[in-house]
Homo-oligomer: A and B are copies of this chain.
Amino acid sequence: MTIDDGPASDRVRLRRGANNGVYERQAVLDVLDAGLIAHVGVATDDGPIVIPMAYGRSDDSLYLHGSVANAALRAADGTDVCVTVTVIDGLIIGRSPFHNSMQYRSVVVRGRARRLQDDAERVDALRRVSNHVVATWDQARPPTADELRRTMVIAVPLLEMSAKVRTGGPVDEPEDLDGRHWGGSVPITSTFGDAVPSPDLRPGVGVPSSVAALDGTAVHGLTTRP
């Protein structure tokens, strides 16, 4: 991986493992698109809190959603947050534990969270969150006004962000290469299985094409989504 552009700010500049740093915008977005969930860090009076959340994105914003009563999202509004998305592709096993690592793709986005108020903007964002992993929005019952009222949507600008991408095997000490210890990697593959209908599903209702198409496909193999 090469660093194509510099980081947008010093606080997303990679220090450790800087040779695995990725700042080129499309490459960072590709990692975001391959991720399943985000880990969202919010400062609270009780110390930082990190919550796993679904997410989606537009060209310029990352979106999170939750109940209007969600304490972490309420605390996030108007403050600096950190949204981290990580995909683990495998284990890296060094001749020495010191050189153990993982094959991974990760993105860190830092920025001011803003609660969306405009209904059209909120619906657009919710559609993007829903469709991030699988495009179900147009095949589901549209949200009601009451459901929208009970949902908070938060936007974080896709400005200050960087990625790290680690591939390959261990980088061991030269003096270990002739030794008796093994070094290498173990791939991890995440795969969607066959759709399981809800026990209360009305007979005759078929699986949506977008859902049926997932069966047997790699979860993190996609780098672009509709």
Contact = CB atoms under 8 A, between A and B. Distances in A.
Nearest to A36: B88
Contact of A40 (B50, B52, B185, B211): B50
B47 A50 contact: no
A176 B52 contact: no
A102 interface: yes
B188 A190 contact: yes
Interface string A79-120: 111111010101101111110101010101010000000000
Contacts of A194: 186-187
B15 A71 contact: yes
A184 B169 contact: no
Contacts of A98: 143-144, 147, 150-151
Contacts of A197: 169, 182-184
A183 B196 contact: no
Given A37-B86, A48-B81, A110-B49, A196 B179 contact: no
Interface in A195-216: 195-202, 205-208, 211, 214-215
A15 B66 CA distance: 12
A202 to B, nearest CB: 6
A200 to B, nearest CB: 5
A130 interface: yes
Contact of A190 (B40, B190, B206): B190
Contacts of A184: 195-198, 201, 207, 211
B102 A54 contact: yes
Of all A-B residue pairs in the complex, the 6 with the closest CB atoms, nearest first, are A47-B80, A39-B39, A41-B50, A41-B48, A187-B193, A50-B84
16 contacts: A36-B102, A37-B104, A40-B50, A41-B49, A46-B80, A49-B110, A91-B134, A94-B140, A98-B147, A98-B150, A169-B196, A184-B195, A184-B197, A186-B215, A188-B192, A191-B191
